Amino acid sequence: MKELAAWALNIANQRGATYADVRVIDDRSRALATKNGRIGNASDSRSQGFNIRVLIDGAWGFASSAELDRSSVEATAARAVDIAKASAKVKQSDVQLAPEKAVTVEWTTPHQIDPFSISIEQNLALLQKVDAELRSVGGVTLAETNMNFRREEQRFFSSEGSDIHQTKYTTGAGYVAYAFAGSEIQKRSYPNSFGGQWQNKGYELIDELKLVENARRIGGEAVALHSAEQCPKGVFDIILESSQLGLQIHESVGHPIELDRVLGMEANFAGTSFLTLEKLRSLKYGSELVNVVADARQEHGPGLGTFAFDDEGVAAQCTPIISNGLFTGYLSSRETASLVGLQRSGGTMRAESWNRLPIIRMTNISILPGEKPLTLEQLIASTDHAILFQTNRSWSIDDKRYNFQFGTEIGWEIKNGKRVRMLKNPSYSGITTEFWNSMDAICSRDQWTLWGTPNCGKGQPMQTMGTGHGASPARFRKVKVGSAYS
């Protein structure tokens, strides 16, 4: 791999590049699913390739190839040079990179069991057992399960001298029970919706999730929702359980802090952001209890946004995003850091594959737990009247990430500190800053979970990337509540 990179970097240097980097990737993935007792999907695939970025005359050029012989590598590097020179003719300004020290590093995701050491037959047997448990509940009409593994081995080389070898493991699993009755469909997901729970771990995550043990409860809740009352409409205090708060963070904090959105570099597909530059260190984003970080470091946890170095060779970092309610930080790259006066990139550049250009992506965007001991049940006990929202079902947010509406699979009405009834089709809406400023309680570290979102889309052509969101259950005052799907 080192020789391959040398071929590419040599061509770039000979043809005038002031900077160049090469990523060589070997990516293996397994995706399995069942549907009502039958195999819905079973694939085990591998992809290999490389790419090169070059900076010439203040403009970027990028090219990639699955061919790893010398002539193909050199031709790909030459194509990147040509693209950079063409881009330079229409550039608005020169690209300036924030400085970064060269490093030589080997790093692998901490894991106990290589997920690819477990047979597909064993994987499917577990999924079919979960499927059978779900369908054993009378009234469940459709059961779907899934299990996913990925191993991405990457070598990064730069003209500045970096040589970074990273191997990342990802494991994910979950299931959904649907209950059809009349003209209505109700669903319950576990451990979360949209693919379940995903983390940068080995196969040990599958055992930790207790998939079989929770299946009948989830099936029962899907059926029971048909008998539940519609969520009332009005202004209520609300409590978001951990996974729903994680998605709230993703949409109303994570996306608007991406500097390429803020600067208009990513406006076509993903929209821009209400967090314009003058708001940094001046906007009261939330209440004093709101403390959010962007943390890619291993010590933050096994999130999908955890790594040792990003895809332009910058070390994983923790960036304070909201500090005691004050907006304090963006997600940045070496290029965008210099545009806003930062001395160093925040280390957030990542690419979906070897044939995609790295762009700014969320790492682990997490809200820090409360300092005082507080469980979800204690939070409920301290609440007079509220709606508890659990497990996302739908979301909508404008292109500046300011006005939003979320629906969840299930809700619970709380009165006098107790759950008094199940509610179906609950939704809530608000304005980002008003919502976060209404937070008046958050549970402690023992209630905190680092959730994985494997399907965040961004860029043109679109790249799907995994992000992490740590959260404890939290309470928000006087939020507009409605009833979706009614």
Reading the block at residue 388, the tokens are: 């508890």
Cβ–Cβ contacts within 10 Å for residue 281, how many? 10
What local confidence, expressed as pLDDT, does residue 122 receive? 97
Distance, in Å, from the CA atom of 352 to the CA atom of 304, rounded to the nearest integer, reads: 12
Q: What is the mean pLDDT of each run of 10 residues along the chain (486 residues)?
A: 93 97 98 97 96 98 97 98 97 94 97 97 98 98 98 98 98 98 95 97 98 98 97 97 98 97 86 96 98 98 98 98 98 94 96 97 98 97 98 95 97 98 97 98 98 94 96 98 74
Instruction: Work out the angle between the directed axes of helices 120-135 and 211-224 (0-180°, nearest 10).
Output: 30
Tokens of 405: 């509406």
Query: Shortest CA distance to 311 belongs to which of 79, 453, 149, 152?
Result: 152
Q: CB within 8 A of 315, min separation 6: which ones?
A: 103, 308, 309, 347
For domain 2-227, which architecture applies?
Answer: 2-Layer Sandwich (3.30)
Q: Of 456, 449, 473, whose CA–CA distance to 205 is shortest?
A: 449
Query: What is the C-alpha R_g of the chain?
Result: 24
pLDDT one-digit tens code per residue, 25-59: 999 999 999 999 999 999 999 999 999 999 999 99
Omega into 320 within 30° of 0, i.e. cis?
Answer: no
Sequence-distant (≥ 6) Cβ neighbours of residue 90 within 8 angstroms: none
Q: Give the C-alpha separation, 27 to 190, whole Å.
A: 27
- Work out the end-to-end distance of the chain between its first and last CA atoms, rounded to an integer number of angstroms: 57
Alpha-carbon distances, residue 416 vs 229, 241, 378, 384, 439 (angstroms):
19, 19, 12, 4, 20
What is the structure's pLDDT at 485? 61
What are the extents of the domains in the chain?
2-227, 229-483
Give the helix, strand, coil percentages of the chain, each rounded to 5.
Answer: 25, 40, 35
pLDDT for residue 340: 87
Give the model confidence (pLDDT) of 353-382 as tens digits. Answer: 999 999 999 999 999 999 999 999 999 999
Can you read off the two tokens belonging to residue 105?
Answer: 């590093």
pLDDT at 266: 85
- Determine the Cα–Cα distance for residues 301 and 425; give it in Å rounded to an integer: 33
How many alpha carbons fall within 13 Å on the CB side of residue 207? 7
Backbone angle region of 393, left / alpha / beta, with phi > 0 → left and psi within -120 to 50 → alpha: alpha
Q: Angle at Cα 126 formed by Cα 122 and Cα 132, nearest 5°?
A: 140
